[in-house]
Chain A
Amino acid sequence: MSAEATKAQERPVSAELAKEFGLSAEEYQNALDILGRTPTFTELGIISVMWSEHCSYKSSKVWLKTLPTTGPQVICGPGENAGVVDIGDGDAVIFKMESHNHPSYIEPYQGAATGVGGILRDVFTMGARPIANMNALRFGSPDHPKTRHLVSGVVAGIGGYGNCVGVPTVGGETNFHPAYNGNILVNAMTVGVAKTDKIFYSAAAGIGNPVVYVGSKTGRDGIHGATMASAEFTEDSEEKRPTVQVGDPFTEKLLIEACLELMETDAIVAIQDMGAAGLTSSSVEMAGKGGLGIELTLDTLPMREQAMTPYEIMLSESQERMLIILKPGREEVAKAIFDKWELDFAVIGHLTDTGNLVIKMYGETWCDMPIAPVSNAAPEYNRPWEPTPKASDLDESVFDGYSESLGDTLTKLFGCPDLASKRWIWEQYDSLVGGDTRFMSGQADAAVVRVPGQTKAVAITTDCTPRYCLADPVEGGKQAVAEAWRNLSAVGALPLAITDNMNFGNPEKPRIMGQFVGAVQGIGEACKALDFPVVSGNVSLYNETNGEAILPTPAIGGVGIMPDAMIAVGIAFRGEGDVILAVGETKGHIGQSIFLREILGREEGAPPPVDLAAERRNGDFVRGLIRDGLVVSSHDVADGGLIVTIAEMAMAGGIGAYLTGFDGQHVRVLFGEDQGRYVLAVRPDVAATVQEKAKAVGVPVSVLGETRGTALSGRGGDIVSLKRLREANEGWLPTYMAAEL
């Protein structure tokens, strides 16, 4: 390869080419104005990815700025690779959730696998050893011809990557809805721990300091991946398969160990992984944050393919690569570590005082442009938006004609795709490696993972109820945060902070933009009221195919802390004769409930409102009881209402429930999805104490029954056996996945 051959491959830069690269006419004009000349082919490629929705957050930034991001526990909020929160004793927890939606739809195995790889790098690049992975998945209707293939590939990809790197995948959530037929959501979250005095940031410093490339070699995969993630899908989107990257979890595992080993030395000035837009975003962001220039000479960069051009190298999204700024003279120390782990290591440039990004190769300069003006000029739009019209609540007539037995209704609900057991999925994930997993989600409302070598533990959950968000984005956004906070409280953890993964349709449509704006408002309100700030996040827009948008899905990843992993409480009933208590007020809100959709066949009404003051009061109360050792089993009330919650606790423990608290009550009391509620099982000798404590702090508590037998039963005899519920619950997904297309 030579300069001449490279030039022969380059296309003439023009407004048309800029458009093909995803830049609008105004954005291209802006580039011309900043440079005062026509950009080179390489420069145009770099500008187009920097200004893509995916990298610039141009539609969302103005709203994300309104979210609360600070608190005494926050060490580092949004803007770095991941959020950092203090968990005491000189320890920090570092976490983030990120989407890999577009690639996973096109190539489910590699799309999901590289999603896991990318989020792991965001966390260990800051100095943390990853201790847990989670994922939030949304698929289309089970009847859609692609769904089975997508579920199979995504789950295998997440497992294939996470299992190999040796980070336990401890939980998540999976939903099915026709709105995701053309755009599935794959949101992956990693949680790691580090010492507060050993956290690594990405701002470059020190003119002349060497810029080092480590990890896998660069190939032609993923070029313009960020641009793909910034546009709607059409029927021919599968032609974009070549823009999906290929993951190598073995190299990632080596990279984790090598980076953490290097971090033990004092050689690093700054470090960042090469994620979306690869070498472009890592070099520009690091130099930009440090207010410096950077000069790269690409000839020595490790390449997997022959005859690569500077444009291809700068835009490649090859996986498992990191960019490091070293202190001067530490190259040999660092190289020895990467040699030990058999990873590529190359000094590819140095920091300069010019403020420019300079790319040299084959003896010529292919890019020489100012970083700050190009970064600062990244477009920021305040797009027009329409508020979502409020849905009116439902009247009593929705129950007309409902006459099914309670046992039949419960059996039906537990066999519906959203409530069916996801065992088929989570048994494909190694949830135990590391030996610190106390609970994976499913055993408890939040996963609980001990901090290695200590007694304290982090609790982790992911939550979102998209059908609520569609009906009312503000309440839905609030609810997602409140449910995450509630799930952490339900295991006994103190909620600390969240990461938000905002999945929406095309923001250029005011209706969709209105969903986004509403969700951000709701999230912000809940975060403020619950002292639960946002410390990291990711936005995925343009989740539309042929004009059909997904349900608005602001997935919330919440993290909490508890002093001892062994105080955590799971959902399972653990013995007969325990008293079953409902905590929180039950009004019987049936709008947007699972019961309404699955049993009455209607997706309507307003979602349950969230009373943030009651949420906080009830959660603090439950956490206090758990910390006092008064709770045997604990479960928050979510999809399906009180009766489904009790049945889940019964199935998990293999112990039934004798219920008296529902006698003479309306069916909406059983299935309503009012917020801020929990079901607890407590020993009979402390039940009165618990009720007194509740009264003292104004928390509504009522007795629903006691744990007994192997069925749900009441004064009228058995309602339904646990065996029947379990068969319905465990049967659906394996049967579905085993069936022919």
Chain B
Amino acid sequence: MKAAIVVFPGSNRERDAVAALEAVSGTKPHLVWHRDTELPKVDLIVVPGGFSYGDYLRSGAMAAHSPIMREVKARADQGVRVLGVCNGFQIITEAGLLPGALMRNGALKFVCRVQHLRVENTDSPFTKKYAKGQIVRFPVAHGDGNYWTDAETVKRLDGEGQVAFRYVSDEARSDPRGNPNGSVSDIAGIFNAKRTVLGLMPHPEDAVEALHGNTDGKPMFEGLVEALS
């Protein structure tokens, strides 16, 4: 699997993504600078976490208009897999690859903790190595992760199998401590209609080795390698 990671001024989890991809795939991903207008030929594009452009206008809003994003959108249209994590989720949502919006956390505070999630759909290269309904732990670290879309769209996302992950409490119940940011319907990550694009707030790339305390994120990268090699 060949992968590219798009780096914006203010990206700060690109190194985590490089380490995770390299550990699982054995191949170093390409780092692509935001002002580049061309992407190498790759099977996977990762838009990493961070604070692109300082998140000064609105999280992800400026990066979504960066030259490289036109190319990312074109590749996504051709079916190239795109993974947006945290700020990357905000950027690809602002760019129109996914429906909805990410607002300031409900408690108005940044939140960093290990979060329990339920895998909602395993029919994608991102989630194929998980079991449906499996509870996994990924860290979250964000200030603007409050996913919002209207009730009708939530219904459609659920109906079409586009909800990838939901926040759950430690006891696998949906409760306020489970949902760290107030997201509608506890949504932590969603696919596009073809399930070739995944955006999620939690960080699978920070849960891939013993040092991280758990390796629940590893199957995501293993699934991608298996599907795209």
B-binding residues in A (CB < 8 A):
156, 159-160, 163-166, 248-251, 253-254, 341-342, 426-436, 438, 450, 452, 565-566
Of listed B20, B54, B211, residue having the most chain A CB within 10 A: B211
What's the least CB distance linking B179 to chain A, in Å?
14
Residue contact B143 to A163, C-beta cutoff 8 Å: yes
- The closest CB in chain B to the CB of A431 belongs to B112
Kindly state the separation between the CA atoms of A253 and B87 in the bound complex, as whole angstroms.
Answer: 15
* Interfacial chain B residues near A251, Cβ < 8 Å: 54
Task: Identify the stretch in B6-14, B67-75, B92-100 within 8 Å (CB) of chain A at 4 or more residues.
Answer: B6-14
- The closest CB in chain A to the CB of B35 belongs to A340
Residue contact A438 to B211, C-beta cutoff 8 Å: yes
How many B residues face the partner with a CB closer than 8 A?
Answer: 29
What's the least CB distance linking B122 to chain A, in Å?
25
With contact pairs A428-B110, A430-B110, A432-B203 given, residues A253 and B211 touching in the complex (Cβ less than 8 Å): no
Residue contact A248 to B109, C-beta cutoff 8 Å: no
B12, B20, B113, B139: the one within 8 Å of A166 (CB): B12
Given A435-B15, A435-B20, 12 additional A-B pairs, CB 8 A: A163-B110, A164-B51, A164-B55, A248-B54, A250-B51, A428-B109, A431-B112, A433-B12, A433-B206, A434-B16, A435-B206, A435-B212
Kindly state the separation between the CA atoms of A432 and B10 in the bound complex, as whole angstroms.
Answer: 17
Kindly state the separation between the CA atoms of A84 and B82 in the bound complex, as whole angstroms.
Answer: 42
- The closest CB in chain A to the CB of B203 belongs to A432
What's the least CB distance linking A571 to chain B, in Å?
14
* Interfacial chain B residues near A164, Cβ < 8 Å: 10, 12, 51, 54-55
- The closest CB in chain A to the CB of B16 belongs to A435
**Can you list 14 pairs linking A and B with CB atoms under 8 Å apart?**
A160-B110, A250-B10, A250-B53, A253-B10, A341-B9, A342-B9, A428-B109, A430-B110, A430-B112, A431-B112, A435-B19, A435-B20, A436-B211, A438-B211
Kindly state the separation between the CA atoms of A254 and B54 in the bound complex, as whole angstroms.
Answer: 10
A-binding residues in B (CB < 8 A):
9-10, 12-13, 15-16, 19-20, 49-51, 53-56, 109-113, 139, 141, 143, 203, 205-206, 210-212
List of 10 A-B pairs having minimum Cβ-Cβ separation, nearest first: A166-B12, A250-B54, A435-B16, A430-B141, A164-B51, A430-B112, A428-B110, A159-B110, A432-B139, A432-B206
What's the least CB distance linking A613 to chain B, in Å?
35
- The closest CB in chain A to the CB of B212 belongs to A435
- The closest CB in chain B to the CB of A156 belongs to B109
What's the least CB distance linking B89 to chain A, in Å?
16
What's the least CB distance linking B85 to chain A, in Å?
12
- The closest CB in chain B to the CB of A455 belongs to B211
* Interfacial chain B residues near A435, Cβ < 8 Å: 15-16, 19-20, 205-206, 212
- The closest CB in chain B to the CB of A430 belongs to B141
A165, A427, A452, A565: the one within 8 Å of B112 (CB): A427
Of listed A156, A163, A431, residue having the most chain B CB within 10 A: A163
Residue contact A249 to B110, C-beta cutoff 8 Å: no
Residue contact A250 to B9, C-beta cutoff 8 Å: yes
- The closest CB in chain B to the CB of A565 belongs to B211
* Interfacial chain B residues near A159, Cβ < 8 Å: 110
- The closest CB in chain A to the CB of B205 belongs to A435
Residue contact A429 to B50, C-beta cutoff 8 Å: no
A427, A433, A436, A565: the one within 8 Å of B111 (CB): A427
Kindly state the separation between the CA atoms of A533 and B224 in the bound complex, as whole angstroms.
Answer: 50
What's the least CB distance linking A55 to chain B, in Å?
30
What's the least CB distance linking A300 to chain B, in Å?
24
